[in-house]
């Protein structure tokens, strides 16, 4: 019998390549058929290892879900960026590689990011998701998120609706 360590920890500079790989795999799965292919490729290619290395070096809050030696996913979070929404914190991104989805890891990563934000005094929280990303919308609803705002975002020639989910302290 073997035991695999599952941990959530802050990203280190040495993790940049693994985070970039998790980002690539998770985004291709989440947005294939939603964001036009060329636009999706551009978004992913902009966020390679150098981008993640820079973000980690600059102190961005990036939590990793590590399954044994594998980075299974990540959450990137901090202060709420939408001035029109009266919530303290925001989870900018929460993604798992496809093979780690549906196992409760996303809930654990969300809880860890929320706890870290709360410990910094950011008690209420918002997360944006593309409305057409049914798994994400269902996930945030299952976590108790309440839809509080709508907006849209352009990806090339396609405009997609997005929804903000919020949690109070």
Alpha carbon distance 101, 107 (integer Å):
10
Alpha carbon distance 13, 52 (integer Å):
8
Average pLDDT per block of 10 residues along the chain, 169 residues long: 86 97 97 96 96 97 96 97 93 97 95 96 97 97 97 95 94
Own/partner pairs, 66-71, CB within 8 angstroms, 24+ separation:
66/5, 66/6, 66/7, 66/8, 66/9, 67/4, 67/6, 67/100, 67/105, 68/4, 68/5, 68/6, 70/18, 71/15, 71/18, 71/19, 71/21, 71/22
The pLDDT value given to residue 83: 86
Contact 81, 90 (CB under 8 A): yes
User: Per CATH, which fold does 6-167 belong to?
Assistant: Aminopeptidase (3.40.630)
SS3 129: strand
**Considering only CA atoms, which of 3, 122, 105 is closest in space to residue 63?**
105
The pLDDT value given to residue 4: 76
The pLDDT value given to residue 105: 96
The pLDDT value given to residue 31: 97
In order, the DSSP letters of 17-80 are HHHHHHHHHHHHHHHBTTB-HHHHHHHHHTTSHHHHHHHHHTT-EEEEEEETTEEEEEEEEEE-
The pLDDT value given to residue 3: 77
Q: Which two tokens stand for residue 138?
A: 């269902």
Domains of the chain, residue spans: 6-167
The pLDDT value given to residue 5: 87
Give the model confidence (pLDDT) of 80-116 as tens digits.
999 899 999 999 999 999 999 999 999 999 999 999 9
Give the model confidence (pLDDT) of 147-159 as tens digits.
999 999 999 999 9
The pLDDT value given to residue 136: 97
């Amino acid at each position: 019998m073997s035991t695999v360590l599952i941990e959530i920890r802050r990203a280190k500079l040495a993790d940049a390549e693994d985070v970039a790989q998790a980002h690539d795999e998770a985004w291709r799965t989440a947005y294939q058929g939603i964001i036009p292919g060329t636009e999706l490729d551009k978004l992913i290619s902009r966020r390679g290892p150098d981008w993640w290395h820079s973000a980690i070096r600059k102190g961005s809050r990036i939590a990793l879900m590590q399954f044994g030696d594998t980075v299974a996913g990540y959450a990137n979070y901090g202060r709420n960026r939408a001035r029109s929404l009266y919530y303290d914190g925001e989870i900018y991104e929460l993604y798992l590689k496809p093979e780690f989805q549906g196992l409760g890891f996303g809930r654990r990563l969300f809880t860890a990011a929320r706890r870290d934000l709360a410990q910094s005094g950011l008690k209420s929280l918002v997360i944006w998701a593309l409305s057409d990303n049914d798994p994400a919308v269902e996930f945030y609803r299952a976590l108790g998120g309440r839809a509080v705002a709508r907006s849209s975002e352009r990806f090339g020639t396609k405009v997609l609706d997005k929804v903000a989910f919020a949690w109070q302290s």
